[in-house]
């Protein structure tokens, strides 16, 4: 998920269940068949990136495509950049939650024309640094970045080399955090923590045990319904303040998340093209499906089926009914 030039976050279906949610970091493509409603639509290949919200988008779209359009749906566990490559070389049809990637937009959309913008998802993305609620209550001024150095000793760990630790997520999430720490002259070290599930468990433990934690996180995100994390106020983002990745000294921008399709797919007769373009929902919709998966232990397909059954009007709108 990130976030200045490139932005932040499949999880193989088997890895999703019971981990709440574990994200795979592999960059290869491995397909898992979804239930198919027939062959009228043909193959519909969805890239899936390693965070729960994306999985929710992918499986809701995939379930509708399979059951309503007769598509043979496959989900491919890939990193963000690999998904773009897959659309360009014709092995993938769509990315259903994109967090910017200005460099890839230029390469594949503007210059090569092999990928197309398929419209907004309706989700508003936010990325930033967060602390558990107990810390904001005990140290109310910690939410101002100007005071972070005052509290750096609280965040020292065995991995932070005598500095405060700033915990980052999946190694495939591209962030501005190294530059921010340097350019804001903060006495912190960025430490990569691993998957989305690892970040969530770190926050859960920090709140339960009242231990200090400063970490990168993002919304939409189901976990906020469990623990009300508190965002650090970094210097306000303004247009162009993150243009040079080495000089970034401002907060992350707001993200209007969008969908992408390969040009080859866009030019096909597949009814799934319009489904992807028409798909839109809210942060609350996505977080609800993600909660079914990550907290309630439902498979992505079962979670998608439940939401679809409860929201027929939205699904009908995507199908043009």
| 252 domain-assigned | no
Nearest CA among 281, 305, 236, 286 for reference residue 121: 281
Distance CA 300, CA 222 (A): 14
Tell me whether residue 73 is in a domain: yes
Boundary-marking domain end, from 213, 247, 281: 247
Alpha-carbon distances of 62 from 34, 55, 67, 273, 315, rounded to whole Å = 8, 10, 9, 12, 12
The domain boundary residue, chosen from 223, 247, 271: 247
The per-residue pLDDT for range 164-203, each reduced to its tens digit, is 999 998 877 768 999 999 999 999 999 998 889 999 999 9
> Which of 247, 268, 291 is the C-terminal boundary of a domain?
247
Instruction: Clarify whether residues 228 and 177 are in a common domain.
Output: yes
Q: Do 238 and 286 sit in the same domain of this protein? A: no
Whether 100 is covered by a domain: the verdict is yes
Q: Which residues of the chain have pLDDT under 70?
A: 1-39, 174
Same domain, 204 and 130: yes
- Residue 66 placed within a domain: yes
The 10s digit of each residue's pLDDT in 31-81 is 444 443 444 799 999 999 999 999 999 999 999 999 999 999 999 999 989
Question: Do 97 and 171 fall into the same domain?
Answer: no
Whether residue 130 is found in the same domain as residue 228: yes
In DSSP terms, 80 is beta-bridged to none
The greatest distance separating any two alpha carbons of the chain, rounded to the nearest whole angstrom, comes to 62
Q: Output the pLDDT for position 233.
A: 98
Same domain? 32 vs 112: yes
Residue 54's domain spans which residues?
Answer: 2-123+257-318
**pLDDT of 174:** 66
Q: What total of structural domains would you count in the chain?
A: 2
The model carries a pTM of: 0.84
CB 31 within 8 A of CB 78: no
Q: Residues 241, 305: one domain?
A: no
Rounded CA-CA distance 298/296 in Å is 6
CATH of the domain at 82: 3.40.190.10
Q: Based on the domain organization, do 31 and 117 belong to the same domain?
A: yes
Q: What is the dihedral of CA 5, 91, 285, 68, to 10 degrees?
A: 160
Burial 172-200 (b: 16+ CB within 10 A, else e): bbbbbbebbbeebebbbbbbebbbbbbbb
């Amino acid at each position: 998920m990130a976030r200045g030039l490139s932005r932040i976050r499949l999880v193989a279906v088997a890895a999703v269940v019971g981990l709440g949610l574990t994200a795979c970091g592999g960059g290869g493509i491995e397909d898992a068949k979804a239930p198919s409603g027939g062959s009228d639509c043909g193959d519909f290949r969805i890239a899936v990136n390693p965070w729960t919200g994306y999985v929710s988008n992918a499986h809701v779209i995939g379930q509708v495509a399979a059951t309503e359009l007769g598509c043979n749906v496959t989900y491919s566990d890939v990193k963000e950049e690999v998904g773009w490559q897959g659309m360009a070389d014709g092995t993938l049809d769509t990315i259903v939650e994109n967090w910017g990637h200005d460099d890839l937009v230029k390469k594949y959309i503007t210059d090569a024309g092999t990928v197309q913008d398929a419209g907004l998802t309706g989700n508003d993305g936010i990325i930033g640094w967060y602390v558990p609620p107990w810390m904001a209550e005990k140290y109310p001024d910690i939410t101002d970045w100007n005071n972070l150095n005052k509290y750096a000793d609280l965040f020292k760990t065995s991995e932070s080399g005598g500095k405060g630790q700033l915990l980052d997520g999946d190694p495939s999430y591209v962030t501005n955090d190294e530059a921010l720490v340097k350019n804001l002259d903060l006495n912190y070290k960025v430490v990569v923590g691993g998957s989305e599930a690892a970040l969530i468990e770190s926050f859960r433990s920090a709140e339960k045990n009242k231990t200090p934690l400063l970490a990168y996180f993002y919304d939409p995100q189901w976990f906020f319904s469990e623990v009300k994390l508190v965002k650090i106020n970094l210097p306000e983002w303004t247009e162009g303040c993150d243009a040079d990745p080495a000089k970034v000294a401002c907060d992350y921008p707001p993200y209007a998340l969008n969908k992408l399709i390969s040009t080859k797919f866009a030019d096909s007769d597949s009814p799934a093209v319009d489904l992807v373009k028409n798909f839109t929902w809210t942060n609350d919709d996505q977080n609800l499906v993600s909660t079914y998966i990550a907290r309630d232990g439902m498979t992505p397909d079962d979670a998608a089926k439940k939401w679809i059954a409860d929201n027929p009007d939205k699904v009908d709108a995507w199908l043009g009914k």
